[in-house]
Amino acid sequence: MNNQQLAAIFNLIADLLEIKGEVIYVILAYRKAAESLQNLGREASEYWKEGTLREIPGVGKAIADKIDELLTTGSLRFLEDLKKEIPASLAEWRQISGLGPKKIALIWKSLGITTMEELKQAAQDGKVAGLPGMGEKSAKLILDGMESLSRRSDRLPLWKAAPVVEDLCNILGSLPGVATVSPAGSYRRGRSTVGDLDILVASENPSVVMDAFTSLAGVSRVLGKGATKSSVEFSSGVRAQVWVHPPAKFGTALQYATGSKEHNVAMRQLALSKGFSLSEHSLMGQDGTEHFFATEQDLYAALGLQWVPPEMREDLGEMALAAAGKLPRLVELADIRADLQNHSTWSDGEMSILEMARAAMARGLKVIAFTDHSQSLGVTGGLTIERHAEQQKEIEAAQREVGDGIRILHAAEVEIKADGELDYPDDFLATLDLVLASLHTSLRQPRDKVTARLINAINNPNVDIIGHPTGRKIPDREGADLDMEAVLQAAAKSGVAMEINASPYRLDLDDKYARRAKELGVKISINTDSHSAKDMEAMSFGVAIAKRAWLTPQDVINTWSDEKLLAWLKDKKSAN
């Protein structure tokens, strides 16, 4: 049983307990444990074997015992008993927006219904509207909620969210009286998928913003419209929410709207411990005096904290570091000087080596590696060794053309074949400037086999980087079922770097594994996997993942000087 499955069980327990009417703090404890398991870079089963389950944040005696029972027997007595009391199908109703635990309990107990179909029927028949505290609008809210639930996917992939956020910011920013616009929420925190889109607007005239936002083209449903906060659903199923605050309060408001919820709870607790009450409007002293902050920096400083980068705001230890003035200097987009996975027309790319190199130069890069596919990946036009010799000539010509502007590396994305062997012989690999090894095929192999394939590649002294390690595609394809802990341990031992593939379709490694890699001393390479100049824009997404993993420039080989990077590549070769 993996972390995701354990987390799902604890979230289910939380849902059922909430409907049952359990005190809120018990529910919060289960949700915290679930959240914590999802963010963990190692499997809980490994902690379990070591007897260190309670080192997982939010896991105390009771939940550790439940994890133990689940891993030992595969089931949980507590949950089975709970299901006899509260039908598990009611937990599905929680996904309907506008329907919370209290109303679910009311409907279930009053009408004796438990399924989605029965709920729909009851809402249509007027039975829901007849309940105490409910009315026609409540029934309609439920029906609308069910309707949009059927249209929505769980979370929005970044490649879908980014253009929408950009459009919204441009439109809102051009309204009269608007001083500033900023994305907030999970998008600003750099998550690889986002839920609803959150946008914060600074203006003294909120009604203009609210009116414009709720009447945008493409809005299919206004979920709420108030004086300073509104939310809408677009016909695409995407939901967005906009807050408006005056510029003088923009700092507190942006901090609040950025979250995460867990980070904000920690912030408020800290404020309380210092005799203040923190809200999205102000920091209020016990005597009622309010302090306003135009910037987040001022707010964090007022609480005795360093400004915490949004990507770190998950309550995973950043508060203590910020209080001690010891936040790491995270890697930034401006630190990136090399992109080490790119494709040209020599395989499945759309542009020539010279065109790509010039595009990279225009972005300020100093090193670009061409990692065209290897021969066995036929659909991509993978290169034979003979064609590599021709490509080498073109690279030399392109290098003469661009001069000192950028260094072009002759590399390859070598296929790790189904049997674990690499697609080129070692003596050829040794001649390349850089070798990136990746899985593209037979991703569904059993865990042991696919893990062994990757480790075999890691142990090849010619391999410098493992590309997009799990092979996942967002949102459609789960990655290979890897024993990531074993993979990262092997990489630490051999000195191979692991890639954070910056493509918003991949973002692989994800942040939790990248963070675990850093703990083990594994170097990271952030690459765009570009097939055209436009793809190079994705670097910022990869950097966001790296920041979420708390990586510094030293951890990321793409930030290193030419000398250091080339020496590192050479050392790996000479260790051959």
Q: Considering beta carbons, is residue 187 or 560 the nearer one to DNA?
A: 187
Interface with DNA includes 190 (CB under 7 A)? Answer: no
Enter the DSSP assignment of 225.
E
Q: What is the total count of residues that contact DNA (CB under 7 A)?
A: 64
The minimum distance between CB 504 and DNA, in angstroms, equals 22
Q: Considering beta carbons, is residue 133 or 403 the nearer one to DNA?
A: 133
The minimum distance between CB 475 and DNA, in angstroms, equals 19
Among 60, 126, 285, 317, binds DNA (CB under 7 A): 60
Residue with tokens 């089975």: 80
Interface with DNA includes 99 (CB under 7 A)? Answer: yes
Please state, in angstroms and rounded to a whole number, the distance separating the CA atoms of residues 315 and 517. 20
Interface with DNA includes 268 (CB under 7 A)? Answer: yes
Among 92, 280, 355, 519, binds DNA (CB under 7 A): 280
Please state, in angstroms and rounded to a whole number, the distance separating the CA atoms of residues 497 and 369. 15
**In one letter, which amino acid is 373?**
H
Interface with DNA includes 224 (CB under 7 A)? Answer: yes
Among 82, 129, 302, 566, binds DNA (CB under 7 A): 129
Token pair, residue 51, equals 């007897």
Q: Considering beta carbons, is residue 93 or 370 the nearer one to DNA?
A: 93
Answer left, alpha or beta for residue 507, where phi above 0 means left and psi between -120 and 50 means alpha: left
Answer left, alpha or beta for residue 524, where phi above 0 means left and psi between -120 and 50 means alpha: beta
Interface with DNA includes 150 (CB under 7 A)? Answer: no
Q: Considering beta carbons, is residue 60 or 521 the nearer one to DNA?
A: 60
Angstrom CA distances, 375 to 182, 414, 467, stand at 46, 8, 17
DSSP lists the bridge partners of residue 263 as none
Q: Considering beta carbons, is residue 63 or 546 the nearer one to DNA?
A: 63
Interface with DNA includes 151 (CB under 7 A)? Answer: no
Residue span binding DNA (CB under 7 A) among the ranges 41-49, 98-106, 357-365, 542-550: 98-106
Residue span binding DNA (CB under 7 A) among the ranges 26-34, 337-345, 366-374, 502-510: 26-34
Interface with DNA includes 398 (CB under 7 A)? Answer: no
Interface with DNA includes 310 (CB under 7 A)? Answer: no
In 3D space, the residue among 357, 359, 371, 363 whose CA is nearest the CA of residue 406 turns out to be: 357
Interface with DNA includes 59 (CB under 7 A)? Answer: yes
Residue 65 CA neighbour count, 13 Å, CB half: 5
Among 33, 331, 435, 557, binds DNA (CB under 7 A): 33
Please state, in angstroms and rounded to a whole number, the distance separating the CA atoms of residues 126 and 119. 11
8 Å CB contact between 485 and 46: yes
Token pair, residue 39, equals 């963010």
Residue span binding DNA (CB under 7 A) among the ranges 193-201, 484-492, 512-520, 524-532: 193-201
Among 6, 40, 134, 569, binds DNA (CB under 7 A): 134
Among 7, 29, 543, 549, binds DNA (CB under 7 A): 29
Interface with DNA includes 279 (CB under 7 A)? Answer: yes
Written in H, E and C, the secondary structure of 114-180 is CCHHHHHHHHHCCCCCCCCCCCHHHHHHHHHHHHHHHHCCCCEEHHHHHHHHHHHHHHHHCCCCEEE
**In one letter, which amino acid is 545?**
I
Q: Considering beta carbons, is residue 137 or 564 the nearer one to DNA?
A: 137
Peptide bond connecting 475 to the previous residue in cis, omega within 30 degrees of 0: yes
Please state, in angstroms and rounded to a whole number, the distance separating the CA atoms of residues 355 and 398. 9
The minimum distance between CB 265 and DNA, in angstroms, equals 4
Interface with DNA includes 471 (CB under 7 A)? Answer: no
The minimum distance between CB 54 and DNA, in angstroms, equals 7
Residue span binding DNA (CB under 7 A) among the ranges 134-142, 165-173, 347-355, 471-479: 134-142
Interface with DNA includes 227 (CB under 7 A)? Answer: yes
Token pair, residue 323, equals 């209080």
Tell me the backbone φ, ψ of residue 367, rounded to 5 degrees: -140, 135
In 3D space, the residue among 470, 446, 472, 441 whose CA is nearest the CA of residue 374 turns out to be: 441
Interface with DNA includes 32 (CB under 7 A)? Answer: yes
Greatest Cα pair distance in the chain: 80
Interface with DNA includes 470 (CB under 7 A)? Answer: no
8 Å CB contact between 117 and 105: no
Please state, in angstroms and rounded to a whole number, the distance separating the CA atoms of residues 549 and 511. 5
Q: Considering beta carbons, is residue 123 or 377 the nearer one to DNA?
A: 123
Interface with DNA includes 20 (CB under 7 A)? Answer: no
Angstrom CA distances, 68 to 29, 32, 62, 77, stand at 17, 18, 10, 12
Among 20, 42, 54, 449, binds DNA (CB under 7 A): 54
Among 229, 387, 449, 493, binds DNA (CB under 7 A): 229
Q: Considering beta carbons, is residue 33 or 429 the nearer one to DNA?
A: 33
Interface with DNA includes 264 (CB under 7 A)? Answer: yes
Please list, in sequence order, all residues whose beta carbon lies within 8 angstroms of the beta carbon of residue 362, skipping any fewer than 6 positions away.
none
Q: Considering beta carbons, is residue 195 or 247 the nearer one to DNA?
A: 195
DSSP lists the bridge partners of residue 201 as 181, 244
Angstrom CA distances, 472 to 90, 327, 376, 444, 500, stand at 32, 31, 20, 11, 12
Interface with DNA includes 176 (CB under 7 A)? Answer: no
Interface with DNA includes 479 (CB under 7 A)? Answer: no
68-97 positions binding DNA, by CB under 7 A: 96-97
Among 15, 43, 198, 499, binds DNA (CB under 7 A): 198
8 Å CB contact between 233 and 148: yes
281-300 positions binding DNA, by CB under 7 A: 281, 284
361-390 positions binding DNA, by CB under 7 A: none
Interface with DNA includes 185 (CB under 7 A)? Answer: yes
Q: Considering beta carbons, is residue 188 or 388 the nearer one to DNA?
A: 188
Among 9, 35, 41, 58, binds DNA (CB under 7 A): 58
Token pair, residue 44, equals 């809980």
492 sits in which H/E element = helix 484-494
Summarize as ranges the residues that interact with DNA (CB under 7 A): 23, 25-26, 28-30, 32-33, 54, 57-64, 96-104, 129, 132-138, 141, 185, 195-196, 198, 224-230, 239, 241, 257, 259, 261, 264-265, 268-269, 271-273, 277-281, 284
